[in-house]
Amino acid sequence: MLRPEAHTGWPSYRRNGCLALSTVAQRAWTGDTGAVPYDPIIYLGSAAHYRHGRPAYSPELEAVLTQKVGLDGNGRLLDVGCGPGVLTVRLAHLFAQAVGLDPDAGMLAEGCRAAEEKGVMKIRWVQGLAEELPAVAPGPYRLVTFGQSFHWTDEQHVAETIYDMLEPGGALALIVHTVTGRPRPPGPGVPAIPHDEIKALVEKYLGSTRRAGQGTAPERTHRFEDVLARTRFGVPQQFFVPGIPDLRRDSESVLSGYFSLSSAAPHLFGDRLDDFAGEVRALLAKRSAEGIFWDWPGDTEVVLARKPG
């Protein structure tokens, strides 16, 4: 898997006990696995778009994790870099308690909202960095997940910390969408999202260097599997869960998908945000009169590392 692109006791809670806030230290984590300093504006303006713009993981993910990890409704889940709780809310029912950890307060507020909408009340939302573990969200945990977020961390250091936080037999799961090398299913009969053309518009407005917050996105040259193999976890297991082959998205969802990315977050466009959005909408209207597109996010890839029981 090669992917660019995630105290003592509990802090006090607000918003009906749903959102826990802790102080996020502005520290630079620059280990040998390519981590970058945390930038508090990297997803500024993206939280409201994330849930509506990001494609869902495989509908079989819960069943596969249950079988692989031996989930039985007990134990605890920690979802690190949880964003707006995409994985946290989906997986919470498989545990006695779930914790969503993210440094972005806007993302946590969206996660809290999603949980309330679905009536999921067993999640604690904590603001903090992965590098602040275990202090911000003490273990033990049966499963710790990173949904497209592990690459933002000091990977080897964080993995070793997670190892100590897992209960015996617990697992670390790195979960991403993967298109490269996966068989492409036949489309459902509607136009595919014109990603190349939209990316050209992003480049027109933001330049050819891939942006991320106040800086640029790091180039990734190593695999998660190689990082984990150097930790006490040893060589992890890698497997794929079938993605959604006939996913249909409307134009606004497609636009939100781009605004949910660190490389195209709304704040990056400044006072040209409306101009960019207008050009994307006009492009999409030309490509589909009905405003409906096929999205193939790939299969759901899982890198699973176990702690001996």
pLDDT tens digits along 83-119: 999 999 999 999 999 999 999 999 999 999 999 999 9
Residue 14, pLDDT above cutoff 90: no
| CATH number reported for the structural domain that contains residue 131 in this entry | 3.40.50.150
Is residue 62 a part of any domain in this protein?
A: yes
The whole domain housing 23 covers 13-189+217-251+299-306
Is residue 289 a part of any domain in this protein?
A: no
Residue 172, pLDDT above cutoff 60: yes
pLDDT score, position 12? 27
Residue 4, pLDDT above cutoff 60: no
Instruction: Return the percentage of the chain with pLDDT > 90, whole number.
Output: 82
Q: Which two tokens stand for residue 248?
A: 């249909």
pLDDT digits (tens, 9 = 90+) for 140-162: 999 999 999 999 999 999 999 99
pLDDT score, position 221? 80
Is residue 175 a part of any domain in this protein?
A: yes
Is residue 98 a part of any domain in this protein?
A: yes
Mean pLDDT score of the chain? 89
Is residue 114 a part of any domain in this protein?
A: yes
Phi first, then psi, for residue 245 (nearest 5°) are -75, -20
Going by pLDDT thresholds of 50, 70 and 90, the confidence category of residue 219 is confident
- In 3-state terms the chain splits into helix, strand, coil percentages (rounded to 5) of 35, 20, 45
Count H helices and E strands in the chain, helices first: 9, 13
Give the count of beta carbons closer than 10 Å to the beta carbon of residue 143.
Answer: 25
Phi first, then psi, for residue 273 (nearest 5°) are -60, -50
pLDDT score, position 36? 63
Going by pLDDT thresholds of 50, 70 and 90, the confidence category of residue 32 is very low
pLDDT score, position 47? 94
pLDDT score, position 9? 28
Report the distance separating Cα 100 and Cα 96, nearest Å: 14
Q: Which two tokens stand for residue 155?
A: 């990977």
Is residue 277 a part of any domain in this protein?
A: no
Report the distance separating Cα 274 and Cα 29, nearest Å: 35
> Tokens 């029912």 sit at which residue?
93
Phi first, then psi, for residue 250 (nearest 5°) are -90, 175
Burial level of 254, CB count in 10 A (0-12/13-18/19+)?
buried
Say which range, 27-31, 125-129, 205-209, has the weakest mean pLDDT: 27-31
Query: What's the length of the chain?
Result: 309
pLDDT digits (tens, 9 = 90+) for 33-44: 445 678 899 999
pTM to 2 decimal places: 0.90
pLDDT score, position 27? 44
The total number of structural domains that make up the chain: 1
Is residue 104 a part of any domain in this protein?
A: yes
Is residue 177 a part of any domain in this protein?
A: yes
